[in-house]
Structure 1
């Protein structure tokens, strides 16, 4: 629509007058002017004002030499929002690319999550994250971040697959045949990315390469079965049915120290931050100060259990012990003073783990119990195993238990802690590949590593690096049922609170 000459001349006079007023006077004039307009005119004005009220500050900041601020703002976005930000315009895409924001997003997840860090190690891209970025052309930097943008959905796909495989019991199985020459059975183990260290019934400690599963070292000094062990970057400490605790160099396998205190089999031990706790069939718990591998001094002996003390765990607050006398006892770590007893199991307690305020225990009454350590209240009882529950571990999501029925069960920890959850919904999956009693297990986000009376160590891989998902729960059950029956036909009587070797009796009840 054309504008009249009269309007144009009067408009120039009005604008000239408008420019002489203060800002507040100008605003007041416009408010009155808008008040006299129609709804249609308001719409026209709004359409004109809308783009004037918006500002692309992300694009403006680099023009002011503030690229780092634009990067820090966009770095606060999650993956979905970051992908959307790249689509806004070429300048936003440049900020994301040159700021390496996809790489930084992955780095932050790796710092916060054990699952992400584990995937970084397993898939090999942790090396890329640790490699410093070299200065280069813009296109080189862009292509580098493009690599991480493409990597992100692959990581999410791996995570979904891991969760699905845990839920379905789908795994890739690797088996170590220990081939013990005399007494068969693997009583204890610990693993890391490079090795598995195991304690055997044949009196040896064997070290296995994680990739080849070949035995790389045999440590022989114990005169009885190796019932428990733990290692760190420097030493291995082991306990045996020969009543001794031995210290070894983790790299060379050379013996460094032997501790003589317990008068019967050393059934379990834990060490951390200069403190070690051992327990024994002699019904006692020993607390040790570790100054060096060659200087380990007995601090205190804790007594109170009426049967073999089968397992101990501790942190800076409490030492927790469990016994064949059917009780769990709690002691102050610093003072070694007794705190309380947790009672509820109907038979001897074979295993437990303690973390934060939660204790999870397994017993020869075939049940698992969850306890609040501060109140001593039993929060939940898990039933499902058909024989003694020998080993148990938990993390923030799962409980994994192994029993003398040859089965490993995976339980939903969060559901177990929710009193509204049905008991039928707590066991996620049952794994059946061992043909003998399950003695020990450990697990992480990707795998379970277990050992058994059948003289094997099994690695249950729920990721499967080659994409092969391996066996399933149903296939495993079908494959080993016959072997389990044959195995227990000559072993059932060994552990029912009576005779048998010391190492086979530690999980039984108090002698009646």
Structure 2
């Protein structure tokens, strides 16, 4: 019996006619419309004391609660209950399983742990990468014809393993623990691997012996050699259709990625092509001749020169771009910004004390490496130098960054891993920024690329090294 019921009983004792009057009130109340009933109750509440309000609130609170998740399936709306719970984060979903049997049934029947994993695979590269590396990608999304996915418990047990994998990988990055694989690219005429790029199936490398070699990611065996350049292959990029390479022979060549057949040769620069980037029908190349060429790529065989950008006073060593800006860096110690749409010059960034050998541009951030042995972080809009990273002993030749870390390679043969988040925080001391130094190359590091799990680097020592931070599979 509630306190409110006790009050009613006491009132009945005090007034002999209370029960009779109450019944008469019920008759009037039942004849009124909803708005009239509400108005009457509000008027009664206005005449009551604070103490009475508290008692009524205690009585009403449980009446206002509804277990809508349990009620929806009873009305044939299981899918609505599943959709509501599917928006929960990991911790909330764990708690929801413990509410009652009906909630647990909705979560189980709706395969909500599977759906949670699928959302994270779509949203986060580390989940997508793990799905491929560990092989559980085959248990997600639509099953292959003739196959059936596991039950709910498989995904409920899989999720903690995924979290452990992610945590272990981060600890390995910070602790420098890795498995190392080596590709020996040496030949009679080979004296260095100037550039490389990889995907899940292959590594494509440009060599000083004028060739492009393609390596199988699983066997690390050479599967194809592309010949045609008459000078060292200094830069390259590939997608699912073409490989584009630049050489000290001053040409840019286009190759079919399937089979490696030559498709096109672009002759414009009068000295070595030092770097190139292409994306969404646009390509930008730069050269020792101090110029930057902007190309329109209709197809692999239909590439036309759109604009030539001049302004640097020394070799242009590297370019990068997106839909807003083209960014170039030169031996003249400057970084120049150009509008992508009309190729107009925007601004010059000045800060490095010697020539700039490498950079990457993404969002509002530029990270550059120089022969002054430093790395600089820049705000592209303001042109402000945000931080200077020191630690390499020779020219910083290659650099890449993602949302968490910067990885740099230098002529001192070392690869350094830096904490990007800390580097962007001016309160963090310089001593906390370099997480690890990796020293397995015996020659200058020319190029590197990395993802959530690995670094792939190439060097003057004729090797490509694969630094894997993922670690063994947790089968427990």
Same fold (TM over 0.5): yes
Q: Deviations over 1:434-484 (max 9, x none)?
A: 11110000011111110001111111111124469xxxxxxxxxxxxxxxx
Separation in 1 of the partners of 2:253 and 2:50? 95
Query: 2: distance between equivalents of 1:213 and 1:28?
Result: 80
Q: Is the 8 A contact 1:357 1:374 kept in 2?
A: yes
**Once the 2 structures are TM-superposed, how far is the Cα of residue 179 of structure 1 from its aligned partner?**
2.3
Tell me the matched-pair count: 459
Q: Do 2:191 and 2:461's aligned partners in 1 also have CA atoms closer than 8 Å? A: yes
Q: Secondary structure at the match of 2:159?
A: helix
Aligned position for 2:469: 462
Matched, 1:119 2:130: yes
Aligned to 1:60: 71
- Once residues 21 and 427 of structure 2 are traced to their aligned partners in structure 1, the CA distance between those partners, rounded to angstroms, is 74
* CA RMSD across the alignment: 2.9
SS at match of 1:436: coil
Deviation at 1:145, TM superposition (A): 1.9
How big is the shift at 1:33?
A: 11
Give the one of 347, 351, 356 matched to 1:349.
356
Aligned to 1:248: 255
Deviates more, 1:271-280 or 1:29-38: 29-38
The alpha carbon displacement at 1:281 in A equals 1.2
Query: Shift of residue 277 of structure 1?
Result: 1.0
> Would the alpha carbon gap of residues 46 and 338 (structure 1) be closer, same or farther in structure 2, given more than 3 Å must change?
closer
Q: CA deviation at 1:400?
A: 0.6
Is the partner of 1:393 in helix, strand or coil?
strand
Are the structure 2 counterparts of residues 24 and 267 from structure 1 closer, same or farther at C-alpha, using a change threshold of 3 Å? closer
Instruction: Work out whether 1:193 is the aligned partner of 2:209.
Output: no
SS at match of 1:109: helix
Cα deviation code 1:154-175 (max 9, x no counterpart): 1111111111111111111111
Closer/same/farther in 2, CA of residues 63 and 313 from structure 1, 3 Å limit = same
Distance in structure 2 (CA, Å) of the matches to 1:318 and 1:398: 23
Cα-to-partner distance string for 1:375-430 (whole Å, 9 max, x where unaligned): 22211111000000000001111111000111101111121112222111111111
Separation in 2 of the partners of 1:197 and 1:33?
A: 83
Deviations, residues 193-229 of structure 1 (Å, cap 9, x unaligned):
1111000111111111111111111111111111000
Quick one: structure 1 residues 27 and 463, their matched pair in 2 at CA, closer, same or farther if it must change by over 3 Å?
A: same
TM-aligned CA deviation for residue 186 of structure 1: 0.6
3-state SS in 2 of match to 1:110: helix
Q: Which runs of 5+ in 2 are unaligned?
A: 2-8, 30-36
TM-score, normalised via structure 2 length: 0.89
Change (3 A) 1:34 1:239: same
Does residue 412 of structure 1 match 2:419? yes
**Residues of 1 paired with 2:39 and 2:350: CA distance?**
81
Structure 1 pair 218–467 and aligned structure 2 pair: CA distance change class (3 A): farther
> In the alignment, which of 356, 359, 383 is matched to residue 366 of structure 2?
359
Preserved contact between residue 18 and residue 26 of structure 1 (Cα < 8 Å): no
Which of 401-410 and 177-186 deviates more?
177-186
